[in-house]
Amino acid sequence: MTSLRRQLSSSIDLSKLKNQRAKAGEQYIPTDVEQIANVITHALWIVPSLVGLFWMQTKSQSQAEIITTFVYGVSLICLFTVSTIFHTVSFTKRSGVLKNFFHIGDRAVIYIFIASSYTPWLMLKDFGGAEITSMWIVWTMAVLGILYQYIFHEQYKWLETLFYLIIGVCPAWCVMHMADPSGVFELAVGGMTYIAGVIFFKCDGIIPFAHAIWHCFVMTGATFHFYAINTYLIGVKQVESSQGMHV
Ligand SMILES: [Zn+2]
């Protein structure tokens, strides 16, 4: 009976599912089950993203809608594909140039994805002429984030997280001021989902499967935003703006 209890307690020992936290400047090494979970949780969304891009393209009614849904749809596919490749390479190769290349790519594509998530709103909603400036700011921040990632990869992890939060949250101020506020609620819920997920993004080595849980938050946030874009932006006649980018 005692031995059975010991076996049961060891089989539910969650600490064995994770490794030690990474030291400063080093990458966390996931356990094998964590690696598999990391691959599965984003690989599952590659095909739905392709279908989503096709769906948005067929639903688009104007040139602006076609362009913006293409940018958003392709970034969605890139996010899940680059992430899946990185985690697969990380699991099979474990070290080397290829793993490092895709790790930088995995982090860099997040900046592109955040900018792409704002692009449909900035292109298709009326901001009284502020949309072009906002678009420049968002994409400039994304480029700076990618450069930071390339130059200082894994060196200042707290700064990386701060950059994600700045580029993710600051443009929301602009979106809150659009003439027609429809879709803001879903946009905010999606944004809050990403922010909540960042907690797990920072918990490698503390919570088992923390990175796979972060992936799940990304999938959920993307689903809210995909729903909002399809419900409020494309295939729907927007309020025309004399200074907007409606085509
Ligand atoms: Zn990942």
**Which CA distances in Å does 22 have to 18, 202, 204?**
11, 11, 8
CA distance 184 to 200: 25
Q: Measure 238 CA to ligand 1 centroid, in angstroms.
A: 36
Q: In this predicted model, what pLDDT tens digit does every residue of 199-225 receive, in sequence order?
A: 998 888 888 999 999 999 999 999 999
Residue 244 has pLDDT above 60, yes or no: no
Of 15 and 12, the one with more pLDDT: 15
Q: Measure 56 CA to ligand 1 centroid, in angstroms.
A: 25
Beta carbons within 10 angstroms of residue 86's beta carbon: 24
Q: Which of 88-92, 151-155, 186-190 has the lowest mean pLDDT?
A: 151-155
Q: Measure 244 CA to ligand 1 centroid, in angstroms.
A: 36
Q: Measure 129 CA to ligand 1 centroid, in angstroms.
A: 37
This model's pTM is above 0.95 = no
Residue 41 has pLDDT above 60, yes or no: yes
190-195 mean pLDDT: 91
Q: In this predicted model, what pLDDT tens digit does every residue of 45-84 receive, in sequence order?
A: 999 999 999 999 999 999 999 999 999 999 999 999 999 9
- Residue 203 tokens read as 């918990």
Q: Measure 225 CA to ligand 1 centroid, in angstroms.
A: 19
CA distance 133 to 165: 20
Q: Measure 137 CA to ligand 1 centroid, in angstroms.
A: 26
Q: What is the pLDDT of residue 229?
A: 93
Q: Measure 96 CA to ligand 1 centroid, in angstroms.
A: 18
- Residue 62 tokens read as 């104007």
153-179 mean pLDDT: 77
**Which CA distances in Å does 51 have to 56, 76, 77, 98?**
9, 11, 10, 29
Q: Is 42 annotated as a binding residue?
A: no
Of 36 and 152, the one with more pLDDT: 36
- Kindly indicate the confidence band of residue 9, based on its pLDDT and cuts at 50, 70 and 90: low
Q: Which H/E stretch holds residue 67?
A: helix 63-92
Cα Dmax for the chain: 78
User: Which amino acid does the sequence have at 212?
Assistant: A
CA distance 43 to 55: 19
- Kindly indicate the confidence band of residue 152, based on its pLDDT and cuts at 50, 70 and 90: confident
Q: Measure 247 CA to ligand 1 centroid, in angstroms.
A: 37
CA distance 111 to 105: 10
Asked if 60 contacts 69 with a C-beta cutoff of 8 angstroms, the reply is yes
Q: Of 175, 246, 229, which Cα lies nearest the Cα of 59?
A: 229
- Kindly indicate the confidence band of residue 3, based on its pLDDT and cuts at 50, 70 and 90: low
Q: Is 211 annotated as a binding residue?
A: yes
Q: What is the pLDDT of residue 226?
A: 94
**Which CA distances in Å does 40 have to 65, 73, 87, 188, 204?**
31, 20, 9, 27, 17
Q: Measure 42 CA to ligand 1 centroid, in angstroms.
A: 8
